[in-house]
Amino acid sequence: MPGLITQRRDFIKVIAGSAAARPLAARAQQPERMRRIGVLSSASESDSRSKPYYAAFQQELQELGWFDGRNYRIDYRFGAGDPDRIRAYAAELVRMSPDVIFTASAATVMALRQETSTIPIVYVLVPDPVANGIAESLARPGGNSTGFATNTLTMGSKWLELLKEMAPRVARVALVFNPKTAFYAGYLPSLEAAAPSFAIEVVAAPVHDAAEIEGAISARSGEPGSGLIVLPDAFTSFHHKLIVELAALHRLPAVYPYDYFARSGGLMSYGVESVDLFRRATTYVDRILRGAKPDDLPIQEPTRYELVINLKTAKALGLTIPPSLLARADQVTE
């Protein structure tokens, strides 16, 4: 009998222990809290140029262990290059109280920062965030935002150099930008300083809508030696096809800040490799979701630039591409 009693007691202990362990095991197996990521894009939802960027962003999230619908949810809002719509969607995303907001332009960052000082923001494609007033320093951004900068403000001299090399007769260059969304004042010093060495006069061509884009570009068609530089800008990026078509119509050589301008028929582009920036920025989103603070994540500067030349457009403009320039091209398209 004693042995039977002992066995019974041991059985009861096992059952009791299993019952106590079940709630702990159940809690351990419960899925972690669903995280929420807001995305504010300056493009339109149907704009094909930005789809590879956000595809790379979400693919990299998955590589880092984040699966849409399983442990995070993503909410996209598309500003379509409209400053008023960008501000409205910034406010809407902030009201959703996401864990982090990802965005890709100076205009969208500034709109978000006006709406929140607490929700973390990770950005890409912002020229010189310190000079823009978005960050206190590269090492310690301050506030609730950090990210990956795009073209430096000294890029203006490089654009002038490339345009003069491609089209030696260019003597007057119009800078196309929207004052509400572009950091024109930041680029101007390098452009004005470099212009005399290339025998070029630089003039501003501010635009606020499609009609003004058409007016600004068509006004240059009757000026001998005219060319264009399109500044990095959420507005000009949204209207990139219109700008490229008008430049071709009026036979104006132009240099653009992003590769999709050249792929759409623009003469050439020189700027950061955007897909690379989107992938790198995903690591900051991941770290914030895991508890990091934006101020602890230093702003990263570009490491890769690319020159894209459109051969068909050069031929249509009657331009002979110098072999030295062609050799430096990272991509040549037709």
For residue 67, give Cα distances in angstroms to 70, 71, 124, 194. Answer: 5, 6, 22, 48
Phi, psi (deg, nearest 5) at residue 56: -65, -40
Tens of pLDDT along 114-155?
Answer: 999 999 999 999 988 998 889 999 999 999 999 999 867 888
| Per-residue DSSP letter, 97 | -
CB proximity list for 82: less than 8 A, separation 6 or greater: none
Full-model pTM? 0.82
Tokens of 162: 């490339």
For residue 221, give Cα distances in angstroms to 33, 71, 130, 176, 216. Answer: 58, 54, 37, 14, 10
pLDDT value of position 139: 96
Element holding 125 (H helix, E strand): strand 121-126
| Percent residues over pLDDT 90 in the chain | 73
Q: Are strands 145-149 and 121-126 parallel, antiparallel or unpaired?
A: parallel
pLDDT value of position 26: 37
Phi, psi (deg, nearest 5) at residue 291: 115, -5
Q: What is the mean pLDDT of the chain?
A: 89
Residues 224-251 as b or e (16 or more Cβ within 10 Å = b):
ebbbbbbbbbbbbbbbbeebbebbbebe
Separation between Cα atoms, residue 237 and residue 239, nearest integer Å: 5
Separation between Cα atoms, residue 119 and residue 230, nearest integer Å: 32
Q: Is the pLDDT of residue 246 over 80?
A: yes
Structural domains of the chain, ranges and CATH numbers in brackets: 35-151+273-304 (3.40.50.2300), 155-272+306-333 (3.40.50.2300)
Separation between Cα atoms, residue 101 and residue 37, nearest integer Å: 6
Tokens of 285: 């989103």
Residue 251 banded pLDDT, cuts 50, 70, 90: very high
User: Which residue in the block uniquely carries the two structure tokens 């101007």?
Assistant: 188
pLDDT value of position 218: 96
Output Rg (C-alpha) for the chain, integer angstroms.
Answer: 26
| Per-residue DSSP letter, 290 | T
